[in-house]
Structure formats: structure tokens, C-alpha cells
């Protein structure tokens, strides 16, 4: 039995980039990561090119039913964008370098800003299902860090600063837009956990005690890698279930998707207006 050659991580990134450039000649300005139940934003993009994840060398494949697997290139509100229709999670069995591989690729394709969306449970007792929350900070509770191992010096420093993981100017712009558009926009801290199970009531209390306003199973790894490459990030959560004391109930993925559909038009309105002003 012949052993397959080990391909260095940086070379994997470059091979993926080269394949994409062979199929799409444009240079995207903005990268967008679409979370659970938030894929309808694609309808607002004038699509120029679609590439299946399975056709891109070394790209992971999503195993989650609510995440299809395509890179969507096109125009939105006067900006050239690339949207990830389907993201990857640590709980799927991928390591963190695989989870964040697409973010490295998007940066090499030329994006200058990253917009991340997700579905999250609301820990703040004032939150309601269907609310949207701009993420101002996060708490990393994942058991692995995507920067673990040999540093990719060509992308960033060994010990990147994380005092402001989310771009303050973009957050302020979103707040201004929410007032102009009369869209209620919450602001809070996102806790990233491993999953795939939802948390116990005791764990929800713990998360609230340590300062989290919402909890989910994504976003934090992508943001760490983006900041490692000094890529400005704006992230927003759709609150799909309530996790504060007295409000915790059993929830299905279908209910999460239904709740995300309530938040999606508000989220889209904010993102579209932001793109027009970037």
C-alpha cells in the first residue's frame, strides 16, 4: 500500500486559490459567510460564478443538511462579493485548520473585509426569538485553536492581538444603519462552543455568568484566522432560541431555521446598507 504524499497547508491554500482563479477572473472585495437558515441572502446577489466546494482542491465538504456547499461570486449593492453558501464546524469532525481553510482562501483571493453570520441561542433575558445581535466580542470555548502548530508567517504573526476582534467602525456603521432603517439591533458577546449537542440549563447559566449574551457553534475560529491575517470582521447573529432561566425549551433544527427566517430580512437589510457605504 503506497502512502499519499503530505501536502503542506500553505500549498493546499494556493492550489485551492489557483483552481478558483482558473474558473473566476474577478477579485472579490467582500467575503460573506452564511450561517444556518440565512442562505436567502444569495437572492440579493447578482451571481457571476458558482463553484462547488467539491470541485475545489482540499476544500472541506459540509455534512450539515442546512449548509449546501458553494462559493458564490457576484455583485451586491455595488460591491464585488464572494459568499460561502455553507460553512464548516468543528463538531463535524474537521480540525480547526480545515474549518478555517476557506477564510485563508478568501483572503488570498483578495477580500478586504469579512462579514460573518450565524444562528445563536440568546442568553440575555431581554432577547426574543428573531432578534439580531451584532457581535462586539467573543469567548472562545473550543478545545482547539486554528492557529495551533507552526505559524504561517506569510499570513500573520505568531501571537496576534485579539483585543478588538470585531471592527469597531463596522459595528458603529451597523448601529447607525439600524436607526435609519428602524431595525432593532442588539449588541453582545458571543460564546463559541464545540457542539453538536445544545447546552444543559446549568451550562447556559455558566455561559451567562462568564459574560456571554449568545451562544453558538461557529464564527470564533473564522474570526481568529481573519484577525491573524489582519482582515476586518463584522459578525451578526440571528437569535433562534432562548436560553435564559425559565425560557429554555426543547428545540429542533426546523424550529431554528424558522426562527432564522424571521431574523433574515432584518439582517439582510443591515448588510445591504453597509455594503452600499463601504
H/E stretch holding 119 reads strand 113-122
Other beta carbons within 10 Å of 5: 5
| Pairing verdict, β 46-52 and 113-122 | unpaired
Q: Which contiguous run of DSSP H or E holds residue 84?
A: strand 79-85
Residue recorded with cell 444543559: 200
Structure confidence at residue 73 (pLDDT): 96
**Residues 88, 221: contact at Cβ < 8 Å?**
no
Q: Which residue reads 436560553 in cell numbers?
A: 243
**In sequence order, which residues have a C-beta less than 8 Å from that of residue 70 and are 6 or more positions away?**
50, 51, 52, 53, 85, 86
Cell (9 digits) for 131: 432578534
Measured CA to CA, the distance from residue 172 to residue 174 in angstroms comes to 5
Q: Could you give the CA distance from residue 163 to residue 40 in angstroms, rounded to a whole number?
A: 32
Q: What is the DSSP letter of 40?
A: G
Secondary structure of 191-248 as H, E, C letters: EECCCCCCCCHHHHHHHHHCCCCEEECCCHHHHHHHHHCCCCEEEEEEEEEECCCCCC
Domains of the chain listed by start with CATH number? 9-277 (3.40.50.1580)
pLDDT tens digits along 73-106: 999 999 999 999 988 999 999 999 999 999 999 9
Query: What is the pairing mode between strands 214-216 and 70-76?
Result: unpaired
Q: How high is the pLDDT of residue 66? A: 52
Report d(CA 261, CA 165) in Å as an integer.
27
Burial of 93 (0-12, 13-18, 19+ CB in 10 A): exposed
In the predicted model, residues of the chain with pLDDT beneath 70 are 1-6, 37, 63-68
Other Cβ atoms less than 10 A from the Cβ of 229: the count is 18
Q: How crowded is residue 170: how many other Cβ atoms within 10 Å of its Cβ? A: 19
Q: pLDDT value at position 1?
A: 42
Amino acid at each position: 500500500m503506497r502512502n499519499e504524499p503530505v501536502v503542506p497547508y500553505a500549498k493546499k491554500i494556493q492550489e485551492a486559490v489557483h483552481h478558483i482563479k482558473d474558473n473566476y477572473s474577478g477579485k472579490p472585495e467582500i467575503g460573506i459567510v452564511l450561517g444556518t437558515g440565512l442562505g436567502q441572502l444569495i437572492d440579493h446577489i447578482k451571481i457571476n460564478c458558482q463553484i462547488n466546494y467539491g470541485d475545489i482542491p482540499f476544500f472541506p465538504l459540509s455534512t450539515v443538511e442546512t449548509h449546501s456547499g458553494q462559493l458564490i461570486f457576484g455583485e451586491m449593492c455595488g460591491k464585488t462579493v464572494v459568499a460561502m453558501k455553507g460553512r464548516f464546524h468543528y463538531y463535524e469532525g474537521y480540525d480547526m485548520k480545515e474549518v478555517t481553510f476557506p477564510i485563508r482562501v478568501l483572503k488570498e483571493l483578495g477580500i478586504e473585509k469579512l462579514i460573518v453570520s450565524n444562528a445563536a441561542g440568546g442568553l440575555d433575558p431581554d432577547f426574543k426569538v428573531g432578534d439580531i445581535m451584532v457581535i462586539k466580542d467573543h469567548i472562545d470555548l473550543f478545545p482547539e485553536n486554528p492557529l495551533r502548530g507552526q505559524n504561517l508567517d506569510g499570513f500573520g504573526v505568531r501571537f496576534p492581538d485579539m483585543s478588538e476582534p470585531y471592527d469597531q467602525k463596522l459595528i458603529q456603521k451597523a448601529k447607525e444603519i439600524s436607526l435609519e432603517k428602524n431595525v432593532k439591533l442588539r449588541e453582545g458577546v458571543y460564546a463559541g462552543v464545540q457542539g453538536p449537542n445544545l447546552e444543559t440549563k446549568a451550562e447556559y447559566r455558566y455561559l451567562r455568568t462568564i459574560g456571554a449574551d449568545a451562544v453558538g457553534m461557529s464564527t470564533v475560529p473564522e474570526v481568529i484566522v481573519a484577525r491573524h491575517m489582519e482582515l476586518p470582521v463584522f459578525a451578526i447573529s440571528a437569535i433562534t432560541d432562548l436560553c435564559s432561566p425559565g425560557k429554555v425549551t426543547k428545540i429542533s433544527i426546523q424550529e431554528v431555521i424558522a426562527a432564522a427566517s424571521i431574523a433574515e430580512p432584518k439582517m439582510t437589510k443591515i448588510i445591504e446598507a453597509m455594503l452600499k457605504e463601504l
